[in-house]
A and B are shown apart, each in its own frame.
Chain A
Amino acid sequence: MNPEVPTVELVGVSLTYAGPPVVAALHDVDLRLRRNEYVAVVGPSGSGKSTLLNILGLLDRPTGGTFRLSGIDVSTLPEADRAALRGERIGFVFQSFHLLEHRTAVENLLVATLYRPTKVGRADRVARAEQVLTRVGMRERMYARPAQLSGGERQRVAIARALMNAPDLLLCDEPTGNLDSVNAAKVLALIDEVHQAGQTVVVITHDPVVAARAERRIAITDGSVTESG
């Protein structure tokens, strides 16, 4: 892939919830993320951080402006194509993990391969899951269910799931919000490592310590980017 093409290019993007009441969650946001950039998004509660992340993750469509993901204009793509891109090129990490409770760690990773356009045999998928679990230090717990794991371990499994399809863009919404400082440090170290391995990373956070680890900080207030750099 051409390193000159930015992973993310937002031009004049806005998102207004039709309501009622009408909420302008984002307006006129311009944002460029280079490949392998590590960016923290900060801002008060309700400022539009998650909304921005949903747009970057192709979960929501902007109501205005254009969005190019790795050079592809995704604002106007049909939903089926956006779903395929989402599965292939984007990894999500959530504050509340969103692991399937009744599945083991390795099964949770396999869910990420269910909808891929290119089919891979089950044995290869399991091998890939084991490899990724090893990378996040969870290989020994691959048959544990989420209820049997600590918060930090769950988040590491969730990060492993996000890395299953080797995405272009890793989006983390408050990844340490539910963790104590020891576990948070482990998870942040893991995210650093993912970044060093070449991934583009966006982390939403309230925590200045977390924000400090990123190469660049973006501040959002009332739906507008107020500080970028």
Chain B
Amino acid sequence: MNRSRISARDLVDECVAALVVRPGRTCLTALGVVLGIGTFVSVVGLAATASGQIGERFDVLAATTVLASDGREDLGERFPIPPDADARARSLNGVRAAGSLWTVRQPGLGLEGAPTTDQPVTLDLMAVSAGAWEALQPRVVEGRTYDEVADAAGLHVAVLGSSAAVRLGISTLETRPAITIDDVPFTVVGVVDDVVRSPEVLLAVSIPRGTAEAIWGQPQPNAAATEVVSTDPGAATQVADELPYALSPEAPGSLRVTPPPDPRTLRDSVAGDLNTLFVVLALVCLLVGAVGIANTTLVAVLERTSEIGLRRALGATPHQVATQVMVESATLGGLGGLVGTSVGVVVVVTVSTVREWTAVMSPLLTFGAPGVGVLIGTLAGLYPALRAARIEPSQALRQ
């Protein structure tokens, strides 16, 4: 015997007809899922975006920086960062640039800005080897930094951090401004205002290491001298292990090496915290949305009891009645999922734009989220569908 069949096209038509009858209710019901999916997509998208930014900073900076400093007070008299430290460091595999720097602690050090001020200005004076400029990657506002020749020759040249220049009243290098340090004249050759490492140079006057040693001698142990090394990505840990032996083979222990943090640990912990907290929040929203759909669909079923009775009289099986209810709730969920996904994408893109981040969203999220809406709608429709299937047509038609 032939069984009743309802075509997919008719099923969709009937579902649309039922949903557009009460547009306000349809929208409000879908709103729960819109909020849930919207939160879910924004949260997962923002977490991915944020951890993407953290990851990027690690890759370019922290993961490629190794610092070796002479901080070990208990160890000997010898200054552990020799004059050829930069060349020794550069001989290691994976090292891109290396340079040494320290603050010259000369009591009574004063600076006189020649052009505009007669009052001594107190600023830090730093010895910075020529190689260090490669590792620090400064943005040169004016002029240039000095090279190894100047360093080796002990030329009287200085590079100013931008704030140091302001304090000295130096606004241009066109007049070849000179400064005096302990009555020794220096020519200002460059002004820098941004470095990726060792930002203390921005507040100081930097002179070549060779020059500083010629005038003020080798630094004392504990002068807080540092060898700054920039490495290839992935090489930092290895370089950190080898660096003390390269710089100070007789007493490698006199150097305190700061290896990069393990990028994975930090990224995972940051991303992990964001994810669990907000995903829980999004799941709560989804649950609320599902309950909303279940509730509205159940009310709709009870309201349409006599209509369901009529459909049964016209040949519908309990199974077909249940299917129609499920298709309606799945459509509600799917609509909510689509709108919610769009809202979520807009949120992630807006936040990324404002914070100048690169939005990171997996296609799985943007294409999968509407599907999650359909799934939620389907689950929410299960109980109402069961109720609809159990309606006795003869009773329903008595009304």
Contact = CB atoms under 8 A, between A and B. Distances in A.
Given A59-B312, A59-B394, A114-B316, A80 B7 contact: no
Given A85-B1, A114-B316, A115-B315, 5 more contacts: A80-B317, A81-B3, A83-B312, A92-B314, A115-B314
Given A80-B4, A83-B316, A84-B3, A111 B311 contact: yes
B310 interface: yes
6 contacts: A59-B313, A83-B312, A83-B315, A83-B316, A111-B314, A117-B4
Contacts of A96: 399
A62 interface: no
Interface string B304-322: 0011011111111111100
Contact of A84 (B2, B7, B309): B2
B204 to A, nearest CB: 80
Q: By CB atoms of chain B within 10 A, which of A80, A81, A98, A114 has the most? A: A114
B355 interface: no
Chain B interface category by residue count: 20 to 34
Contacts of A115: 4-6, 311, 314-317, 320
A79 B318 contact: yes
Given A116-B4, A117-B2, A119-B5, A84 B315 contact: yes
B321 to A, nearest CB: 10
Contact of B7 (A83, A102, A119): A119
A57 interface: yes
A54 interface: yes
A81 B1 contact: yes
A94 B306 CA distance: 12
Contacts of B307: 98, 100
Contacts of B263: none
Contacts of A103: 17
A72 to B, nearest CB: 9
Interface string B1-24: 111111100100010010001000
Q: Ordered nearest first, which 7 A-B pairs have the shortest CB separation?
A: A87-B315, A117-B2, A115-B315, A54-B394, A59-B394, A115-B4, A83-B317
A117 B314 CA distance: 12
A57 B398 CA distance: 14
Nearest to A171: B313
